[in-house]
Amino acid sequence: MEAEAFPSEGQIVAVSTSRHKGKKKNNLPACELVKDKGLDGDAHAGDWHRQVSLLAMESINKIRGKGLDVSPGDFAENITTSGLKIWELPTGTRLAVGSEALLEVTQIGKECHDRCAIYHQVGDCVMPKEGVFTRVLRGGIVRPGDEIRVLPQADS
């Protein structure tokens, strides 16, 4: 019954990459998730636990509500979602993305060593609390409009 506490399906709003860390990401019409690496061409791709970052549109809308004009990719997230409370998912959760890809949640939130421009403008940033980090278990092409689904937890 625990799994019913949050919706199990949502949608990808944007797929975004940047060749440089610490920069806003550019939205793309499609991109390839590469197994054990991340989004093709993204600066954060590599052999580590934060290969792909996700942020919910619902989180971005919180900052919009404080008067800032922000969009998908502005928080340096790779995949912007809608319809899922991704920040409530426990680590280890597996997400089916599009028709092929499989991600595993490895971390919720992150420490911000330097306050970003968004924090300085509105006194808050959602990525440290609601950003989700994943690793790619199975690759595939992902694009805006694709479904993202929470898979049932395997019994231990």
pTM listed for this prediction = 0.87
| Residue 124, pLDDT score | 57
The full set of domain ranges for the chain reads 9-150
pLDDT in tens, 29-50: 999 999 999 999 999 999 999 9
CATH class of 9-150: mainly beta
Burial 77-101 (b: 16+ CB within 10 A, else e): bbbbbbbbbbbebeeebbbbbbeeb
CA dist 138 → 21, 29, 36, 109, 133 (Å): 24, 20, 8, 23, 15
Is the model's pLDDT at 55 over the cut of 50?
Answer: yes
Q: Can you give the pLDDT at residue 120? A: 47
